């Protein structure tokens, strides 16, 4: 298969997980050796078919370094689970804008070099897909990169909560030039939102009436801090809406990040509370804690999204690709129950009508 030529916007923990994942699974052939992947082979594409063409960041210590080294530079704290050889991809200085919050500028020093021409860099490296992995709250920077990707004739993956892939204006512009755009707000492989949705859907289908439920997170790392400072309300709105849609009736639902604990590092604790009634009006209460590591939680989904967008490019599909967005993002144009979203994505891969 031809290589899938990918540019990374933001060389943080999610980028680290994706790059390590390509190496980790690149040498695994049999499906039984690919534990952790939903799709070892997706539409004929394997993780080893992904090739990183260029990367953009603004942090001193990352800019100018080979991508294989930059993903392990502070403040990144994703676990190392694969050896990454030199990739011969130098991290380029991108536009700063609001990509680094004021609160983090003491932790993340802005590199003093001049920013590059993003469009030229994407074109020179024959990039097909630009993946936006900027921190939550990077509204202007995310839109700027969407503009640059469009000018460079690249598909755009928006992993952030910023409304881009669900914005009618952006969708139409990408459709007009024949390019796919997917998003918004990447879901985790085993994250709080998918667990919450699945629990509520299952309980509701079994005749339990949910009255009240919440899901709250406590996390470490710069992404959790950025979310708390700049995107708490946006994330809460997106996650609450995503969860509410699985219930066929009105209930009191709250879902979203709540606090930051420095020593958790790249770990996250998610708390679920569910109260309702079942047969004979009998009360039921559920109290659950889920502990995960943030960066690897994005890896499997990003591998699926990247290969899915490549398939869309191969088929010359343009605009918002509903099957990918619904499957892999918390805030797509249409929110479906997890099982329905999975079926839609599988049908897309097989190129059949769902």
**Dist CA 153 CA 179 (whole Å):** 7
**Dist CA 17 CA 231 (whole Å):** 22
**Dist CA 279 CA 320 (whole Å):** 43
State the pLDDT at residue 249. Answer: 95
In the numeric block, the tokens 């928006």 are attached to 158
Gyration radius (Cα) of the chain, Å: 20
Q: What are phi and psi of 278, to 5 degrees?
A: -130, -150
**Which domains, ranges and CATH numbers included, belong to the chain?**
4-187+296-350 (3.40.50.720), 192-294 (3.30.360.10)
Tell me the mean pLDDT per 10 residues along the chain, length 354: 94 97 84 83 95 97 98 95 96 94 85 97 98 94 98 98 97 98 96 94 96 96 85 90 94 90 93 97 97 94 98 98 97 93 96 77
């Amino acid at each position: 298969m031809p290589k899938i030529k990918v540019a990374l916007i933001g060389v943080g923990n999610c980028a680290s997980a994706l790059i390590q994942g390509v190496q980790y699974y690149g040498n695994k052939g049999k499906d039984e050796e690919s534990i952790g992947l939903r799709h070892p082979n997706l539409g004929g594409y394997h993780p080893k078919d992904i090739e990183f063409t260029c990367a953009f960041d603004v942090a001193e210590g990352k800019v100018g370094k080979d991508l294989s080294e930059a993903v392990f530079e502070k403040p990144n704290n994703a676990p190392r689970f694969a050896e990454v050889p030199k990739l011969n991809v130098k991290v380029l200085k991108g536009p700063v804008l609001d990509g680094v919050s004021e609160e983090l500028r003491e932790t993340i020093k802005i590199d003093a070099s001049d920013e590059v021409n993003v469009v030229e860099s994407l074109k020179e490296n024959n990039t097909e897909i630009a993946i936006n992995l900027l921190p939550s709250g990077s509204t202007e920077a995310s839109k700027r990169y969407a503009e640059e990707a469009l000018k460079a004739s690249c598909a755009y993956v928006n992993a952030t909560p910023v409304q881009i892939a669900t914005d009618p204006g952006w969708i139409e512009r990408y459709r007009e030039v024949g390019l796919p755009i997917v998003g918004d707000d990447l879901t985790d492989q085993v994250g709080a939102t998918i667990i919450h949705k699945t629990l509520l859907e299952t309980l509701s289908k079994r005749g339990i009436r949910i009255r009240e439920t919440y899901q709250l997170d406590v996390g470490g790392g710069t992404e959790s801090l950025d979310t708390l400072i700049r995107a708490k309300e946006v994330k809460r709105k997106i996650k609450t809406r995503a969860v509410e849609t699985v219930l066929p009736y009105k209930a009191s639902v709250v879902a979203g990040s709540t606090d930051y604990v420095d020593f958790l590092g790249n770990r996250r604790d998610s708390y679920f509370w569910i109260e309702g009634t079942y047969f004979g009006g009998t009360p039921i209460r559920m109290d659950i804690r889920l502990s995960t590591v943030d960066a690897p939680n994005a890896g499997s989904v990003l591998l699926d999204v990247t290969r899915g967008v490549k398939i869309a490019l191969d088929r010359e599909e343009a605009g918002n690709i509903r099957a990918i967005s619904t499957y892999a993002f918390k805030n797509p144009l249409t929110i479906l129950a997890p099982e329905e979203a999975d079926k839609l994505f599988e049908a897309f891969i097989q190129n059949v009508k769902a």
